[in-house]
Amino acid sequence: MIKVLRIINRFNLGGPTYNAAYLTKYLSSEYTTLLVGGVPEKHETDSLHIVKSLNIEQVIIPEMSRSINPLNDVISYRKIKQLIKEFKPDIVHTHASKAGLLGRIAAIQEKVPVIVHTFHGHVFHSYFNPLITRLFIGIERYLANKSSAIVAISELQKRELTEQFRVVSNQKCVVIPLGLDLKRFSENKEEKRIKFRKQYNIPEDVVVIGIVGRLVPIKNHRLILDAFRILKSRTNKRLEILIVGDGETKNELIQYTKELGLKFRTCSEDMSADVYFTSWIKEMDEAYSGMDIVALCSKNEGTPVSLLEAQASGKMIVTTNVGGVKDIVHSEAGYIVDDFSVESFADALEKAVAEYEERNRRIEEKVSPQIIQQYSYEILVNRMDALYKNLMGLVV
């Protein structure tokens, strides 16, 4: 029996939880896995319903969160170290930055035979000032040197880690894309669309542009608000942006919406508006069915799950060119904006609004089946199984 201690930053909605949950659930019976994670930030929705739906028992470390807190981080480290002593894993596999720092240091100290870390994103640009960024790069280089393998979730991310930031050698870095269960996003879409639009009071003739993610500076929501104001002056179609998510910049974004002269709403009982702040939505398959176009404005990303879900749902995309976006967005699926200018993003949105009906039909027919198969959790599990066995010197 191969024992895996799997540690994620926190149980919040996003790619790391899905990845960790599917690996915990679906690795073969040769493995036994203990899943450990921290708690969501104040404005995040927890993802324990994903873990519980798969009947996975988990260990929660309340002191471990995304934010830096020296006291809580020390407590978290000690708890992880104690779990390693008790569980005696053959493999410690960490997911995302905080878990990667605390989990790998504890694993190194306890001489765990195999240590693996997955970069779901990175903080090597657009997050901190140059001094702090150099510090984080130095720490990651040290930890990568002590790790058995580093997993990147896209080819572009691997190039960033191995060539641009030189965090890890090419030989030690392996690409294993996200694995998800995307089939539900392609099923019963018309029924879900009717249900969602009725629930959120959105008339059928409104073109809905959705953007999904935490409301934090790195997600750059101001870009879509600025571009939307331009778009409104260029078309007579009824439009509404659905900003799905929550976070520290929500009030700031609402205020900025007002400053732009755009109408907003925060609940379904309100009349339709230009911008709808929906907060988090758990039934995202229904939400995507109700949308027409899906946008992303981030300054930094790993592999955006929202863009995979959008394509599985047959929806056109307008996105900034960040992280692994070019690796996952099909050429038929929409527009990738290479700069962060408002004019460029508005131009792409204008084209999408004119084309989405025909393009969505093509995406549904050609792109969705490919995305659903290419990013299935079965492929993720098979590739991770092969990596683990290779690192342990077992025959694959």
Q: What is the pLDDT of residues 19-74, one digit of tens each?
A: 999 999 999 999 999 999 998 877 676 777 888 888 999 999 999 987 778 899 99
Domain that holds residue 214: 183-374
Q: What is the pTM of this model?
A: 0.87
In angstroms, rounded to a whole number, what is the distance separating the alpha carbons of residues 318 and 328?
Answer: 13
396 falls within a domain: no
In angstroms, rounded to a whole number, what is the distance separating the alpha carbons of residues 258 and 215?
Answer: 17
If asked whether residues 176 and 299 sit together in one domain, one would say: no
If asked whether residues 167 and 224 sit together in one domain, one would say: no
Amino acid symbol at 242: L
If asked whether residues 80 and 51 sit together in one domain, one would say: yes
Domain count, the chain: 2
If asked whether residues 23 and 137 sit together in one domain, one would say: yes
If asked whether residues 187 and 43 sit together in one domain, one would say: no
If asked whether residues 188 and 311 sit together in one domain, one would say: yes
If asked whether residues 297 and 346 sit together in one domain, one would say: yes
Give the DSSP letter string of 219-235: G-HHHHHHHHHHHHHH-
Cα dihedral across residues 349, 354, 356, 358: positive or negative: negative
274 falls within a domain: yes
If asked whether residues 164 and 72 sit together in one domain, one would say: yes
Local structure of 94: helix, strand or coil: strand
Contact criterion met (CB below 8 Å) for 4 and 90:
yes
If asked whether residues 231 and 369 sit together in one domain, one would say: yes
If asked whether residues 275 and 147 sit together in one domain, one would say: no
If asked whether residues 236 and 127 sit together in one domain, one would say: no
Digit-by-digit pLDDT tens for the chain (396 residues) are 999 999 998 887 677 888 999 999 999 999 999 999 998 877 676 777 888 888 999 999 999 987 778 899 999 999 999 999 999 999 999 998 889 999 999 999 999 999 999 998 665 655 556 787 788 889 999 999 999 999 998 888 899 999 988 999 999 999 999 999 999 999 999 999 999 999 999 999 999 999 999 999 999 999 999 999 999 999 999 999 999 999 999 999 999 999 999 999 998 777 779 999 999 998 999 999 999 999 999 998 878 999 999 999 999 999 999 988 998 999 999 999 998 999 999 999 999 999 999 999 999 999 999 999 999 999 999 999 999 999 999 755
The domain spanning residue 128 has which CATH number?
3.40.50.2000
If asked whether residues 160 and 202 sit together in one domain, one would say: no
151 falls within a domain: yes
